Amino acid sequence: MYRLKCPIFSLSVLLFAGPVAAQYIDGINDQVLNRVASKYGDQARTRVADWKKLMDTNADPQNAVSENKKLKTSNSFFNKIRWVSDQKHWGREDYWATPIEMLGTNGGDCEDYSIAKYFTLKDTDVSTSKLRITYVKAIEYNQAHMVLAYYKTPDAEPLIMDNINLRILPASQRNDLLPVYSFNGENLWLAKARGKKLKASSQRSLPQWRKLNEKLLAEVM
């Protein structure tokens, strides 16, 4: 089953969001895990603990984990989570879940997969300058979708991390996707303007991203 049904965002209201929240890897402790268990159950606690272990392993300089391996382990870990629409899952459209919410409920949709992979890589020392959460159009299905793009260098062809096609492939091999815009914690780019970066001063606030970051902070405090 092709898993899409992500919200279509209007660029007229898409706005720069500011810095991302503190690192999860430093905040997930027994107290946080106990809160997860209390709210979502023991299996949820195990999933979050496994995520913490993955991040600790990939971030440990003694392990010398390559960025390619970090991409693969992050992609594989979250693609095991079941896909479920926001409406069915949260009772509303366009809900951006934190990784803990996604793991706690064992479900999410395309933006949740992309967000979870983004923060996993960010917290394992992959520079956010290499990462862009990317809104695309799935051409065959004429629907909105979201993926995570990784740029080894600023001018490199990005690798696409997706919950639909589970293989990490160069963008040139994803002819089924049409990029529209991308963003990370610092910047916003328009695909149709040849990757033009929008200045933060020209943007207001992206509500979903701001609320997500507020939830991220609250979860590990």
pLDDT tens column, 48-59: 999 999 999 999
Give a yes or no: residue 17 inside a domain.
Answer: no
pLDDT at position 189 over 50: yes
Query: Does residue 2 lie within any of the structural domains?
Result: no
Name the amino acid, one letter, at 3: R
Q: How many CB atoms lie within 10 A of CB 84?
A: 16
Could you tell me if residue 186 is inside a domain?
Answer: yes
Q: Which two tokens stand for residue 36?
A: 């997860």
Does residue 19 lie in a domain region? no
Rounded CA-CA distance 168/166 in Å is 7
Domain coverage including residue 214:
30-219
Question: Considering the domain boundaries, does residue 7 fall inside one?
Answer: no
pLDDT of residue 60: 95
Residue 146 pLDDT more than 70?
Answer: yes
- Could you tell me the pLDDT band of residue 167, with boundaries at 50, 70 and 90? very high
Under the banding of pLDDT at 50, 70 and 90, the label for residue 18 is very low
pLDDT at 110 over 50: yes
Give the residue carrying structure tokens 């799935």.
138
- Rounded CA Rg of the chain: 17
Residue 187 lies in a domain: yes
pLDDT at residue number 102: 98
Q: Is residue 60 part of a domain?
A: yes
pTM value is 0.87
Identify whether 18 is part of a domain. Answer: no
Report how many domains make up the chain.
1
35 pLDDT band, cuts 50/70/90, is very high
Q: In this structure, what CATH number is given to the domain that contains residue 36?
A: 3.10.620.30
Strand partners, 160: 149, 169
- Mapped onto helix, strand or coil, the DSSP state of residue 117 is helix
